[in-house]
């Protein structure tokens, strides 16, 4: 399975859920993404086969090292793109939606440039007392 946008979304969702929950179940993913239980079960089986997640005997879902790397990369993109869009005046809800669309398609070089620019600009604002 290639790392598609759908795979990235599932891994990011598991990561986001893990920030607030110690035990993640398939139903948590269903509720977060708004997908049916059978759909989530099929994708989880594929993620498990590709060793992006593990599922223990209590059906708790955990990211593997490779799954965690992908999830953190996508989550970082989402957070920074959202903050950047909000700083440009985009309403938060729309910024969240647009960041989710953009985060999967940017090249690593383009994202690195955006990240550098965002932090450079906000460091200047911090120094000038704007934040």
pTM for this model (two decimals): 0.86
Report the candidate in 11, 3, 4, 122 with the shortest Cα–Cα distance to residue 75: 11
Q: Please tell me the predicted confidence (pLDDT) of residue 77.
A: 96
81 and 34 in a single domain? The answer is no
Rounded to whole angstroms, the Cα distance separating 3 from 48 reads: 13
Determine contact, residues 118/84, Cβ cutoff 8 Å. Answer: yes
Distance, in Å, from the CA atom of 74 to the CA atom of 111, rounded to the nearest integer, reads 11
5-47 tens-digit pLDDT: 999 999 999 999 999 999 999 999 999 999 999 999 999 999 9
Helix then strand then coil, % of the chain, to nearest 5: 70, 5, 25
Considering the domain architecture, whether residues 18 and 63 belong to the same structural domain is answered as yes
Please indicate, yes or no, whether residues 94 and 43 belong to a single structural domain of this protein: no
**Segments forming the whole domain that contains residue 23:** 5-69
CATH of the domain at 62: 1.10.10.10
What is the tens place of the pLDDT at every residue in 72-122?
A: 999 999 999 999 999 999 999 999 999 999 999 999 999 999 999 888 877
Q: Do 65 and 22 share a structural domain?
A: yes
Considering the domain architecture, whether residues 54 and 83 belong to the same structural domain is answered as no
Same domain, 61 and 81: no
């Amino acid at each position: 399975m290639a790392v598609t946008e759908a795979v990235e979304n599932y891994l990011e969702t598991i990561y986001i859920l893990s920030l607030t929950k110690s035990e993640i179940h398939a139903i948590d993913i269903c509720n977060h993404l708004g997908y049916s239980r059978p759909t989530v079960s099929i994708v989880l089986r594929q993620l498990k086969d590709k060793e992006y997640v593990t599922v223990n005997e209590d059906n708790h879902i955990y990211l593997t090292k490779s799954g965690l790397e992908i999830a953190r990369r996508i989550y970082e993109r989402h957070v920074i793109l959202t903050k950047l869009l909000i700083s440009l005046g985009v309403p938060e809800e729309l910024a969240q939606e647009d960041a989710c669309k953009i985060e999967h398609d940017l090249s690593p070089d383009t994202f690195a440039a955006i990240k550098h620019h965002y932090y450079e600009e906000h460091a200047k604002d911090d120094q000038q007392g704007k934040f």
